[in-house]
Amino acid sequence: MRLKPKSNTLRELYLKSGNQCAYPECTELMIDSEGEFIGNVCHIEAAEPEGQRYNPLQTDEERREFPNLMLMCQKHHTITNNVIKYPVEIMKKLKEDHEKKFEDIAMIIGKSIHDWTENQFSIEPQNIKNIVKILNWKFEEFQFQPTINEIIEYSKRLENVPLNTRILFSIMIKNIKYSSDFPDSVDPRIIEEKCKIDPKELDRHLVILQKEGLCSRVNSEDYLNPKIEFYGSETGWRILRDLIEYCKLNNNKIEDFVVDLNFSLLDEI
């Protein structure tokens, strides 16, 4: 019986793939800029009897485990169906050689995800009276709770983002270019230069941030005007603008919110 790979197996496959096809010299992405999985989970020894390189001595459980799986683009998944040219030994060597390039990165990212998405939680605001006072919002009593709820919803999005990605996000926020007519944005080339990271590494972080509804790359084909645009709350409130202004006036740092997730700093004690 064909069994689907377990979620922790898929996670390990993705991390050790470096978001690239395992075929030599192929740089096709496994997850695109929209955050969609476009790669193929390929079996070295087939999951079913009619498949390529089927091994009747394997159990169904072994067939869906990490050592028997690799990520490839559709083109090279089809090419490697040629079992004469790509027997089991060759496929295992392709997998091993490809994953060696990303083992150290996978270990670091894996620890980061475990430590910071499972064990760190945002500290929710209770009354937000301090930001209301500092920014001189003309609030009626009935407006407090809906605004608190919006802030909590935004903080929950950040909870799902690994620490290293939140740190990068805080740097991006510090370089925001404001617009009255369009979403606030930043030039990705500025971030690449300031953080000394290449576009592919930046895109890996952006995939995570986009999936959580925090920001996304646009104008990727416009060399002169590439942008990363920032999303606000569900109602369209440009929450980052107010957080930045609050930090300036109240001697806080944007990292207090997007990295440390301490939104109780908006409260009046």
**Average pLDDT of the segment spanning 22-29:** 91
| Inter-CA distances, 230 with 2, 97, 107, 176, Å | 42, 38, 29, 9
Q: Regarding predicted confidence, which is higher, 176 or 114?
A: 176
Region 38-43: what's the mean pLDDT? 93
Taking the C-alpha atoms of residue 59 and residue 67, their distance in angstroms, rounded to an integer, is: 13
Residue 117 Cα to chain centre, angstroms: 12
Residue 219's pLDDT is 66
Section 98-120 average pLDDT: 57
pLDDT in tens, 51-102: 999 999 999 999 999 999 999 999 999 999 999 999 999 999 999 999 887 7
Q: Work out the pLDDT band at 105, boundaries 50, 70, 90.
A: low
Whole-number average pLDDT of the chain: 87
Residue 151 pLDDT > 70, yes or no?
yes
pLDDT of 116 above 50 = no
* pLDDT, tens digit (0-9, with 9 covering 90-100), for 180-225: 777 899 999 999 998 888 988 999 999 999 999 999 988 656 667 8
Q: Which of 94-98, 116-120, 196-200, 238-242 has the lowest mean pLDDT?
A: 116-120
Query: Hey, what domains does the chain have and what are their CATH numbers?
Result: 7-101 (no CATH), 122-266 (1.10.10.10)
Which pLDDT value is given to residue 163?
85
Using CA of residue 21, residue 26, residue 32, residue 35, what is the dihedral sign? positive
Cβ partners under 8 Å of residue 58, min gap 6: 45, 68
Q: CA-to-CA distance for 86 and 52, rounded, in angstroms?
A: 10
Residue in the structure block whose two tokens are 């370089």: 175
Say what the pLDDT of residue 220 is.
Answer: 57
Please determine, for residue 139, whether its predicted confidence score (pLDDT) is greater than 60.
Answer: yes
Q: How far apart are CA 172 and CA 187, in angstroms?
A: 9
Contact between 244 and 134 under an 8 Å Cβ cutoff? The reply is no
**pLDDT over 90 at 113, yes or no:** no
Q: What is d(CA 48, CA 54) in angstroms, rounded to the nearest whole number? A: 7
